[in-house]
């Protein structure tokens, strides 16, 4: 990488050799191993010298925002190694109908009841036996309950008997994400699908993705569609601003990435995601492992979350498979 210089490239290569190729081994999409010498260290501490600024800017900051949804101050060394391995050794695939198409297809095979909020889990004699519904408070009994919602939502479902699990879910920092979308009147370069601002500037919006270049099937118009991305904590501060304010700030930062692009914008929209992904500061992997160990001792309930896999969809799928395994072990039916 030219921007790192010879010294920076040698330090990066040394880091990869020490921590990725010859370091402690752990699965790519699951948190299953406690490694305190990785987990108890902040990522920003690995390259602390003033001369390491290019490594902090072009490696830690860009990967923190692009891969982990937050600034590197919110990332442990363990998590940085995790996302670096995923970036280096895995490929991505895109769904032509967007991620929502996966949920739509699954819903065709499942009995889904919309607009049916749950108040909390119901515990009797130390076992979860069902859920109390929000409307009129009826209890729906179940042999096994699978909680598959975001940690902030899961925390609200925990009764007094599951206070320890509630504290864990409340401790998870989940990033909100206001997502500006700009529809252009033409396609941009086919060989570039990610544009970055200079990370040393610490702009609010640090990079943009061109959906037409990355997954052309998602843009049948043949024109570029740009989503503009920010990172935690900046994302949280954006949530209080109006749509117009967020779009204006995003366009200003986008103009730095792609000079002149403002003249090509046909339309713009803003999608406010209340939850994007969890942050993993120092000590987070240990807390996940402690929670999982305690959760396995609970009767009648299992938990599903991408948090157990350190943010990726594959981690959520893995915890879902484990939950189904617990249900099928005794032949019951989950609800």
Mean pLDDT within 204-219? 93
Please tell me the predicted confidence (pLDDT) of residue 97: 83
Mean pLDDT within 23-41? 91
CB 189, CB 174: distance < 8 Å = no
Q: Based on the domain organization, do 159 and 147 belong to the same domain?
A: yes
Alpha-carbon span 238 to 234, nearest angstrom: 6
The overall average pLDDT reported for the chain is 91
Domain-embedded: residue 106: no
Fill in the DSSP letter of residue 28: S
* pLDDT higher than threshold 70 for residue 293: yes
Please tell me the predicted confidence (pLDDT) of residue 330: 62
Give the model's confidence band at 96: pLDDT under 50 very low, under 70 low, under 90 confident, else very high: confident
Q: Which domain holds residue 29?
A: 2-89
Chain Cα centroid distance, residue 153:
16
**DSSP assignment string, 96-155:** TT-THHHHHHHHTTS----S--EEEEEEETTEEEEEEESSS--EEE-SBEEE-S-HHHHH
Please tell me the predicted confidence (pLDDT) of residue 1: 85
Please tell me the predicted confidence (pLDDT) of residue 103: 84
- For helices 284-295 and 163-171, what crossing angle results, to 10°? 150
Mean pLDDT within 266-276? 93
Alpha-carbon span 142 to 129, nearest angstrom: 6
Q: What is the pLDDT of residues 114-137, one digit of tens each?
A: 888 999 999 999 999 999 999 878
Alpha-carbon span 131 to 335, nearest angstrom: 9
Please tell me the predicted confidence (pLDDT) of residue 254: 97
Domain boundary among 54, 89, 124: 89
Q: Based on the domain organization, do 123 and 248 belong to the same domain?
A: no
Please tell me the predicted confidence (pLDDT) of residue 267: 97
Mean pLDDT within 70-96? 88
Domain at 296, CATH number: 3.50.50.60
**Residues in the chain, total:** 335
Q: Based on the domain organization, do 237 and 192 belong to the same domain?
A: yes
Alpha-carbon span 301 to 303, nearest angstrom: 7
| Token duo for residue 42 | 């902040």
Give the model's confidence band at 94: pLDDT under 50 very low, under 70 low, under 90 confident, else very high: confident
Q: Based on the domain organization, do 182 and 269 belong to the same domain?
A: yes
* pLDDT higher than threshold 80 for residue 320: yes
| Token duo for residue 335 | 């609800």
Domain-embedded: residue 128: yes
CB 103, CB 312: distance < 8 Å = no
Mean pLDDT within 226-248? 93
Domain-embedded: residue 101: no
Q: Based on the domain organization, do 220 and 238 belong to the same domain?
A: yes
Q: Based on the domain organization, do 314 and 167 belong to the same domain?
A: yes
Q: Based on the domain organization, do 185 and 267 belong to the same domain?
A: yes
Q: What is the pLDDT of residues 249-265, one digit of tens each?
A: 999 999 999 999 999 99
**Strand boundaries in the chain, DSSP class E:** 118-124, 127-133, 139-141, 145-147, 177-184, 194-196, 205-210, 225-230, 265-273, 301-303
Q: Based on the domain organization, do 183 and 160 belong to the same domain?
A: no
Please tell me the predicted confidence (pLDDT) of residue 113: 82
Domain-embedded: residue 30: yes
Q: Based on the domain organization, do 220 and 132 belong to the same domain?
A: no
Q: Which of 133, 105, 108, 102 is nearest to 119 (CA)?
A: 133
* pLDDT higher than threshold 90 for residue 93: no
Please tell me the predicted confidence (pLDDT) of residue 186: 96
Fill in the DSSP letter of residue 204: S
Q: Based on the domain organization, do 165 and 189 belong to the same domain?
A: no
CA 28 vs CA 8, 50, 302, 309: distances in Å: 26, 32, 22, 8
Alpha-carbon span 66 to 75, nearest angstrom: 13
Please tell me the predicted confidence (pLDDT) of residue 333: 55
* pLDDT higher than threshold 90 for residue 92: no
Domain-embedded: residue 111: no
Please tell me the predicted confidence (pLDDT) of residue 327: 87
Mean pLDDT within 71-75? 91
Cis preceding-peptide flag for 150 (omega within 30 of 0): no
Beta bridge partners of 226: 182, 210
Alpha-carbon span 334 to 302, nearest angstrom: 10
* pLDDT higher than threshold 80 for residue 61: yes
Task: State how many domains the chain has.
Answer: 3
Alpha-carbon span 281 to 232, nearest angstrom: 12
Alpha-carbon span 60 to 79, nearest angstrom: 11
Please tell me the predicted confidence (pLDDT) of residue 331: 58
Give the model's confidence band at 246: pLDDT under 50 very low, under 70 low, under 90 confident, else very high: very high
Domain at 229, CATH number: 3.90.660.10
| Token duo for residue 108 | 């065709």
Give the global pTM. Answer: 0.89
């Amino acid at each position: 990488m030219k921007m790192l210089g010879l010294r920076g490239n040698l330090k990066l290569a040394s880091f990869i050799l020490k921590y990725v190729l010859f370091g402690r081994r752990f699965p790519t999409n699951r948190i299953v191993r406690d490694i305190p010498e990785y987990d108890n260290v902040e990522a920003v501490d690995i390259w602390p010298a003033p001369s390491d600024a290019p490594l902090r800017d072009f490696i830690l900051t860009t990967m923190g925002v692009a891969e982990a949804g937050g600034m590197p101050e919110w990332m442990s060394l363990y998590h940085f190694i995790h996302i670096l391995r995923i970036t280096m050794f895995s490929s991505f695939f895109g769904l032509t109908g967007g991620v929502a198409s996966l949920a739509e297809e699954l819903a065709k095979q499942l009995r889904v009841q919309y607009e049916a909020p749950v108040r909390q889990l119901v515990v009797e004699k130390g076992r979860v036996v069902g859920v109390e519904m929000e409307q009129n408070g009826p209890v729906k009994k179940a042999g096994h309950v699978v909680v598959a919602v975001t940690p902030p939502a899961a925390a609200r479902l925990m009764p007094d008997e599951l206070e320890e699990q509630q504290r864990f879910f409340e401790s998870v920092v989940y990033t909100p994400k206001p997502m500006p979308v700009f529809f252009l009147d033409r396609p941009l370069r086919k060989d570039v699908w990610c544009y970055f601002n200079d990370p040393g500037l610490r702009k609010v919006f640090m990079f943009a993705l061109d959906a037409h270049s990355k997954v052309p099937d998602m843009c049948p118009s043949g024109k570029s569609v740009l989503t503009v991305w920010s990172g935690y904590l900046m994302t949280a501060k954006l949530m209080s601003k109006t749509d117009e304010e967020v779009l204006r700030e995003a366009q200003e930062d986008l103009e730095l990435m792609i000079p002149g692009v403002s003249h090509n914008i046909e339309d713009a929209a803003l999608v406010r995601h209340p939850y994007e992904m969890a942050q993993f500061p120092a000590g987070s992997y240990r807390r996940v492992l402690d929670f999982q160990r305690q959760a396995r001792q609970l009767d009648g309930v299992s938990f599903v979350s991408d948090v157990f896999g350190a943010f990726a969809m594959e981690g959520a799928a893995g915890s879902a498979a484990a939950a189904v395994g617990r249900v099928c072990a005794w032949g019951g039916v989950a609800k």
